[in-house]
Structure 1
Amino acid sequence: MDIKKGEIVLEIGFGTGHCLKKMAELVGKEGKVYGIDISSGMLEVSRKRLEKAGLLDRVELYCGDASKLPYEDNKFDAVFMSFTLELFDTPEIPEVLNEVRRVLKPGGRLGVVSMSKEGRGLLMRIYEWLHEKLPQYLDCRPIHLSQTLKDAGFLVMHEEVRRIFGLPIEIIIALKPGRKNHGRVAVRKGLRLLL
């Protein structure tokens, strides 16, 4: 995501705070990282991780719903989500992405990692069946991430499909249309830094 010193970054669904910690290191003392997660338990785990790393002063955590982000328009240089977007019900995904587009600065970057519906197979069919029967244990579900982001008005700059436990995941960097522009090389380099 090519996160630089001094930038303002948001992670949606920060979980245990591993990526928050990395982003706080990247933005430096001049920048700020915000995190929103619906789980108060994850907020406490992340707070302890950041405090132990001496980075809590660079991060502001919020317990809330990503479909109603509590931030002003055009605030963030970058927004990141990892295995979060697919947790929302299908009708809520465009709402979340509209909120992301609202809070991103023009030309701001969106990084998303998600289970992917790209590529089918027996393992994917078994996973989807298990997800339907046991959603409390397998809460992520595959989505068509690239098309979903394009439909929401983002410009997809980088996309790749990888596998975890044999299941496909998509990694996408997209931009909010606007004045500021980032090259494809910088986006690819930044993806490696964050992941």
Structure 2
Amino acid sequence: MDVSRVTRSKKAAKSSYDRLGKWYDLFVSPFEGEFIDTGLHKVQAAPGEVILEIGFGTGQGILKLARAVGNSGRIYGIDISNKMCEITRLKVEKAGFSKWVQLISGDALSLPFPGSSFNAIFMSFTLELFDTPEIPLVLKECQRVLKKDGRLCVVAMKQKHDPTPMLKLYEWAHRIFPNYIDCRPIFVREMLEEASFHILDTADFSSWGLPVEVVVCRNVKK
């Protein structure tokens, strides 16, 4: 599977998202909202469940997950950006969800949670930010912290075996301006299958001519 590489360092990524944080809801979130909502609907968070969101950004998913599990459940979030944590924590406090939401600044390559901790994991426009050799490692960490038969929902830009001119142009821009166009398309379903997840459902969308895929799968490997 031929996928563009990520050349930006983790330090540069963290710095970029720290700077972007205060503008994220204005310029980025409106374009991602439809796809995030689709993923949240498909992950089917239920009262009392314990769920992790990786790369929660400014908290759009965290707040909806917290509302879905209620105070009998628990929501955890991990994001590389301290600024994103700060913004989302304020939103969580304002919504009154602080008692069952915990946010952590860190890297999903090493999740700071015991094995079999979660009923589900949600990830939107995050998996494609990891360099290609890192993606299997992130998915392995997801398997470790998910309960057996736990769900993983990934919303991501989708690579195609026959990319459109628009997709090729976007990838060119990603290679030239990696600090500004950081997401790049990946083979979402194929990568999850390679990691031994059992695919439950998929949905395809388009955003400004760029393909987006929502995949829900089950952890069958323990």
Is 2:176 the counterpart of 1:133?
yes
CA–CA separation in structure 2 for the residues paired with 1:95 and 1:170: 21
Give the superposition deviation at 1:139: 0.3
Structure 2 partner of 1:149? 192
CA–CA separation in structure 1 for the residues paired with 2:220 and 2:149: 5
- CA offset digits 1:129-178 (Å, max 9, x no partner): 00000011110000001000000110011011101111001100000016
- CA offset digits 1:83-113 (Å, max 9, x no partner): 0000000000000000000000000000000
Structure 2 partner of 1:81? 123
Give the superposition deviation at 1:115: 0.4
Query: Could you say what the CA RMSD is over the residues aligned between the two structures, in angstroms?
Result: 1.1
**Structure with the largest fraction of helix:** 2
Structure 1 partner of 2:205? 162
Gaps of 5+ in 2: 1-42
Q: What is the count of residue pairs matched by the alignment?
A: 179
TM-score normalised over the length of structure 1: 0.90
Secondary structure of the residue that 2:99 maps to in structure 1?
helix
CA–CA separation in structure 2 for the residues paired with 1:50 and 1:131: 33
Stretches (4+) displaced over 6 A: none
Residues 86-105 of structure 1 mapped to structure 2, 5 A cutoff: 86-105=128-147
Report percent identity of matched pairs.
46
CA–CA separation in structure 2 for the residues paired with 1:161 and 1:109: 19
Gaps of 5+ in 1: 180-195
CA–CA separation in structure 2 for the residues paired with 1:22 and 1:79: 14
Residues 14-33 of structure 1 mapped to structure 2, 5 A cutoff: 14-33=56-75
Structure 2 partner of 1:122? 165
- CA offset digits 1:20-57 (Å, max 9, x no partner): 00000000110000000010000001001111111121
